Amino acid sequence: MKIVDLEREGLIKRLPINRKKVEDTFDLAKRDIEFAKKIQKENFDWTFAIAYNAMLQASRALMFFYGYRPSGEKQHISVVRFAEAILGDEFKKEIATFDRLRRRRHTIVYDIAGSISEYEAEFAVKSAEKFIRKIEKILKERQ
């Protein structure tokens, strides 16, 4: 899917570029991944959810960097689709993981407590750390 398609479908809207908002939002991603690592052995569900949120915030920072914001009711999906459109095939595996974590996070937040294994929590943290580092590199290179 292309950016123009996301705009046409109402999933994203243009936004004036604000470097402070990019930085602040990326700081949220870094905060979240650090906290996820801190509680990793205490609560697998929340570790997983916070690691996913770190990926979400890094992707939102990417959106703001390009002058967009999510719109409508399906904002998490909008962010995933935007990241997919911007990052392309080079990030296909990372985007697939991001989307899987999004769907799984929905279950643990709204439906079933205690369903995340230690392995899943660990995988989420490692995936989020790698994703955040890659997004950070892109933000620095494209300034």
Domains and CATH numbers, the chain: 3-141 (1.20.120.330)
Q: Which residues pair with 13 in a beta bridge?
A: 69
The pLDDT score that the predictor gives to residue 109 is: 87
Within 8 A by CB and 6+ apart from 8, the residues are none
The pLDDT score that the predictor gives to residue 142 is: 83
Are the CB atoms for 91 and 21 separated by under 8 Å? no
The pLDDT score that the predictor gives to residue 143 is: 76
φ/ψ of residue 69, rounded to 5: -140, 155
**Extended beta strands in 12-142, E state:** 12-14, 68-70
pLDDT in 10s for each residue of the chain, 143 residues? 799 999 999 999 999 999 999 999 999 999 999 999 999 999 999 999 999 999 999 999 999 999 999 998 889 999 999 999 999 999 999 999 999 999 999 899 888 899 999 999 999 999 999 999 999 999 999 87
Surface-to-core class of residue 69, CB atoms within 10 Å of its CB (0-12 exposed, 13-18 middle, 19+ buried)? middle
Residue the block writes with tokens 């479908």: 9
The pLDDT score that the predictor gives to residue 1 is: 78
The pLDDT score that the predictor gives to residue 72 is: 85
The pLDDT score that the predictor gives to residue 101 is: 96
Q: Using alpha carbons, select from 4, 17, 140 the residue that is nearest to residue 85.
A: 4
**Which 8-state DSSP code applies to residue 114?**
T
